Amino acid sequence: MWLVLTVPSCVSALWTFLWFVGFCFLANQWAATNPTLYTAGADNARAAIAFSFFSILSWFPLAALAYKRYRMGAEDFNTNYMDPNLASASPYSSYPDAVSDNYQRPPFTQNAETDDGYKPPAY
């Protein structure tokens, strides 16, 4: 049980950390470059830095929510759980105004005698 709850929070926290490391590395390399030497590809580098920054902003709340879910599941876990379906005698409750007769008329019923004289073929 705990493994199912901790894996998403650990993965989200790991991705947050890796994107943070990537952002720090890219920002450091971008600050150390000479802007006059490398004019081609500058937009690509800025896009990669921005993407890693926004990835941190999206993965951190996911990690926090996964950890919150883990804490809720760990506190509310009950070892004496009993399936509610086994405790009830009837699986479905009946309609309050239901008639006790279980017969239902078939749809499209017609009178036995028709005036048009048509009889369907017998197969």
Per residue in 22-65, pLDDT tens?
999 999 988 888 877 777 777 888 889 999 999 999 989 988 88
Structure confidence at residue 34 (pLDDT): 81
Structure confidence at residue 94 (pLDDT): 63
For residue 30 the two structure tokens come to 């971008």
pLDDT per residue as tens digits for the range 61-92: 988 888 888 777 766 666 676 766 655 555 56
Contact 56, 23 (CB under 8 A): yes
User: Residue 102 pLDDT > 90, yes or no?
Assistant: no
Distances (CA, A) of 31 to 27, 35, 123: 6, 9, 90
**Dist CA 107 CA 112 (whole Å):** 15
Structure confidence at residue 120 (pLDDT): 78
